[in-house]
Amino acid sequence: MPVTKYRGNYYVDVYVDVPSQGVRRIRRRSPIQTKKGSELYERELIEAALSTSPRSREERRVADFAVEFLET
C-alpha cells in the first residue's frame, strides 16, 4: 500500500512510470496527517509527476530565449 504510517506520521511511497523518463519512485512525508489526506496527497504527487516532462520545459525555455534573442 502506498500510504503507510510510521512512527506516528503518514508517508507516501509510490512508483510512477513517467513517459520518456522511466519509472520514478516518490517518497514523501504527507503534509496532512490523516489517511484520507495522505491518499489525496499521493494522487497529487502522481498527477504532478505525469504532467511534467523535461521536453516541454525546455521548449518553453527555448521559445523565451528566441524572443529575447530576436529583440536584441
Using CA atoms, how far apart are residues 4 and 19, in angstroms rounded to an integer?
26
**DSSP letter string over 20-72?**
TTEEEEEEEE-SS-SHHHHHHHHHHHHHHHHH--HHHHHHHHHHHHHHHHHH-
Give the pLDDT of residue 66: 79
Smallest CA-to-CA distance from 10 within 28, 22, 24 is with: 28
pLDDT at site 57: 54
The number of beta carbons lying within 10 Å of the beta carbon of residue 59 is 11
Residue 11's DSSP bridge partners are 4, 29
pLDDT by 10-residue block (mean), the chain, 72 residues: 89 91 92 94 92 61 78 82
